[in-house]
Structure 1
């Protein structure tokens, strides 16, 4: 039995939210695990419109490999990866990946490879590696944040909903999708960066959402709301003026 990679199962289930579902571009349905030059691995997935990536400092990939591309996985495997406890009443600790299957184990000690059907093995499920090239995801990452005031780009709300699920999966906190999201637009018409307002994740995870084509908004508010807001401000100013004591003659 030869394992090719090992990652945090919670990370894998979370990043899988960004993979395509049934796309004819089969490599977009997959999750990429790749070696990180500073140690550990990166877990990346994209459907071509938005993307998530996380650094797993404790992840591992076999010698002689720079990356592993895992094809479409079952709901059972994703559920086992994100479960609070497994059959042995312990939380999942590692996802081990081989050429034809993946195994979720509660053993945190990685000195020994887990047995396929041992007590700590929560689930052994068939998976397939993809012999193909994952998109060069680094090309879409902006490096400069927007600093001057300009309209925020139009983005697909479903992708923000997916990032909300990712935040819950990664932190276990349903409140505010894992503590809240920080959304940073890049310069010009570039991508929008998503990061989580969590001490554990702020320097580990990031997402990218590509902007949608849209006409610029002519104003901050629609005309009817703008007129209401202006009328309310005028009335407030009038009331404040009336409340001021008259100056002595």
Structure 2
């Protein structure tokens, strides 16, 4: 069976964290892989409330195939994708994707397709391609920076936790506390762009987080945290 795509396994496992789980919109339960005009592929997933996308410059998609949707995958495959070493004591290098299965290999040379159970094969797992239309993910990304006056939107802390997990997976660190996350809203109550402040990720990964509805916060601090002078100043304003 011919392979349809190959990607960085760490990238795939990380972006999979943004996919929906058991959503009736079945195409949101999948990871979208599409060809990029400048080379390589873009790997994208979203649950409709937040999204993660990464450019894999070394990724590949078969000629004549513009994109594929990879359905739900096992925890075993995801774990193997981010493992430091596989059965051959080498780190996973490439995730090959066919119509009915995916193969994780440590063989860096991609000029030849790997053998299903060759010495470099870490795991061969059954996967399924989803027949559906993935949303136009570029529509939800702000086209340009638009400074605004107002309050930063409310955000879902659980999704921030997912982005932190993605940072850990992509960086290979046990904690992603070094560079941190850069959050930017293009306008009040608009989408929030998430980027990782790390030299090898800042221009490779982008996330989008939809804001939550929340009550307006009238002061930067609650009253009990203010000094007497701040309280007087706030009342005067």
TM score, norm. by length of structure 2: 0.94
Q: How far does the alpha carbon of each residue in 1:222-243 deviate from its partner, in whole angstroms, 9 at most, with x for none?
A: 1222246838x9xxxxxxxxxx
Residue of structure 1 in register with 2:200 after alignment: 200
Residues 148 and 186 of structure 2 are in contact (CA less than 8 Å); yes or no, is this contact kept in structure 1?
Answer: no
In structure 2, the CA distance between the partners of 1:112 and 1:182, relative to structure 1 (3 Å rule), is same
* Cα shift at 1:18: 0.5
| Residue 73 (1) aligns with residue 85 (2) | no
Residue of structure 2 in register with 1:59 after alignment: 59
* Cα shift at 1:146: 4.4
* Cα shift at 1:176: 3.3
**What SS is found at the alignment partner of 1:73?**
coil
In terms of mean alpha carbon deviation, does 212-221 or 46-55 score higher?
212-221
Residues 167 and 178 of structure 1 are in contact (CA less than 8 Å); yes or no, is this contact kept in structure 2?
Answer: no
Q: Return the alpha-carbon distance in structure 2 between the equivalents of residues 57 and 149 of structure 1.
A: 37
Residue of structure 2 in register with 1:175 after alignment: 175
Residue of structure 2 in register with 1:3 after alignment: 3
How many residues were matched structurally?
232
TM score, norm. by length of structure 1: 0.89
In terms of mean alpha carbon deviation, does 145-154 or 65-74 score higher?
145-154
Q: Return the alpha-carbon distance in structure 2 between the equivalents of residues 119 and 202 of structure 1.
A: 35
Q: Return the alpha-carbon distance in structure 2 between the equivalents of residues 2 and 170 of structure 1.
A: 28
After the TM superposition, which segments of 4 or more aligned residues of structure 1 sit over 4 Å from their partners?
Answer: none
Q: Higher helix fraction: Structure 1 or Structure 2?
A: 1
Residue of structure 1 in register with 2:156 after alignment: 156
Q: Return the alpha-carbon distance in structure 2 between the equivalents of residues 87 and 229 of structure 1.
A: 65
Q: How far does the alpha carbon of each residue in 1:6-55 deviate from its partner, in whole angstroms, 9 at most, with x for none?
A: 00000000000100111121111100000001100000000000000000
Q: Return the alpha-carbon distance in structure 1 between the equivalents of residues 13 and 211 of structure 2.
A: 25
Q: Return the alpha-carbon distance in structure 1 between the equivalents of residues 151 and 66 of structure 2.
A: 40
Q: How far does the alpha carbon of each residue in 1:95-144 deviate from its partner, in whole angstroms, 9 at most, with x for none?
A: 00000000000001001000111111000000000010011111110123
In structure 2, the CA distance between the partners of 1:213 and 1:200, relative to structure 1 (3 Å rule), is same
**What SS is found at the alignment partner of 2:28?**
helix
What is the alpha-carbon root mean square deviation over aligned residues?
A: 1.6
Larger radius of gyration: 1
Residues 151 and 188 of structure 2 are in contact (CA less than 8 Å); yes or no, is this contact kept in structure 1?
Answer: no
**What SS is found at the alignment partner of 1:218?**
coil
Counterparts of 1:15-164 in structure 2 under 5 Å?
15-164=15-164
